[in-house]
Amino acid sequence: MRLILLGPPGAGKGTQAQRLVEKHKIVQLSTGDMLRAAVAAGTPVGQRAKALMEAGQLVPDEVVVAIIAGRIGQADAKRGFVLDGFPRTVPQAEALEKLLAERNLKLDGVIELKVDEGILLKRIENRVAEMTARGEKVRADDNPEVLKGRLEAYRVQTAPLTHHYAGKGQLKTVDGMAPIDEVTTAINTLLAPAKVKAKAARKPAKAKSAAKKPAKAAKTPAPGKKKAKGVKKTSKKAAKKASKGRGRAAGAKTSARRGRASVSKSRTAGRKAPRVKSKAGQRKSRTKRRLTRAR
């Protein structure tokens, strides 16, 4: 997971960055810490940055970008990182985007801590008073007057970053004036979807091929469909046979009727027509019957 924390000095970016480091097992890349380390080591970059930091001014882009480029290439930053205090300007943001693109890396989110500057000044006054009471050394840039200059520089140079990242759909805003634990909870809630996407992106390519297999299987008709088709075919064949059988039976009945009709005709034709006697014959027969009675 790769994140950027935005917010004016004293907004609590360092505290939230530490909690993100513990939760996600990533590293915190704080330009302030790296620059202070360079100042303590007395390197040329450190000496150049020392005067600017004590005056509350921002370190030039080329110096900061060079430090960040070297740091994110180290082994402990491969799992991810949270940038605290960088980028500070739009040109730095563009330089970071170019750097990440060259290494095939992407940002998972940009978190802005919104705060009230008047309350911030009060906070720094209280912190300086507490450090002085404990006998701790107060940093030269850790006082109200320097903070006012840093807040002014933030408004002019760094605040435009919110519009830059909002235009890319990467900006997420949290109320930095809420209690520390509530701010942490809000950040974790915003980052939950990003974490899920990051895990999904790390899945092996085999998952893609496995996902394609069900699509091929879907083309094969289900056993139930095969049975349904077979039943339909069988019923069609049975219907055809039944219709043929009915046709044959009807033909047989018709032929049988025709046969009976022809037989009855032939019988009628074979009978001898009754002989009709003529009138003369009838007279002769009557005469014969009379003679037979007289005898």
Closest CA to 78 of 25, 17, 121, 32: 25
3-class SS of residue 110? strand
Catalytic one among 2, 71, 150, 172?
150
Q: 23 catalytic, yes or no?
A: no
Task: Report the amino acid identity of residue 176.
Answer: G
| 139 catalytically annotated | yes
* Number of separate helices (H) and strands (E) present in the chain: 12, 5
The dihedral region occupied by 116, where left means phi > 0, alpha psi between -120 and 50, and beta the remainder, is beta
- Catalytic residue, chosen from 78, 139, 168, 248, is 139
Please tell me which residue in 2, 13, 71, 172 is annotated as part of the active site.
13
- Among the options 2, 50, 71, 88, which is catalytic? 88
Q: What are phi and psi of 210, to 5 degrees?
A: -65, -35
- Nearest Cα to Cα of residue 57 among 145, 146, 144: 146
> Is 167 within 8 Å of 25 (Cβ atoms)?
no
For the beta sheet containing 81-84, the strands, ordered from the edge strand earlier in sequence to the opposite edge, are 27-30, 81-84, 2-6, 109-114, 171-175
Cα–Cα distance, 110 to 162 (Å, whole number): 9
Q: For 37-49, b where at least 16 C-beta lie within 10 A, e where not — what string?
A: ebbeeeeebbebb
Q: Of the residues 36, 127, 148, 195, which is catalytic?
A: 127
> Is 88 tagged catalytic?
yes
Active site residue 134: no
Q: Could you count the other beta carbons within 10 Å of the beta carbon of residue 15? A: 14
CA dist 141 and 155 (Å) reads: 18
- Give the number of other CB atoms < 10 A from CB of residue 21: 16
Active site residues: 13, 88, 127, 139, 150
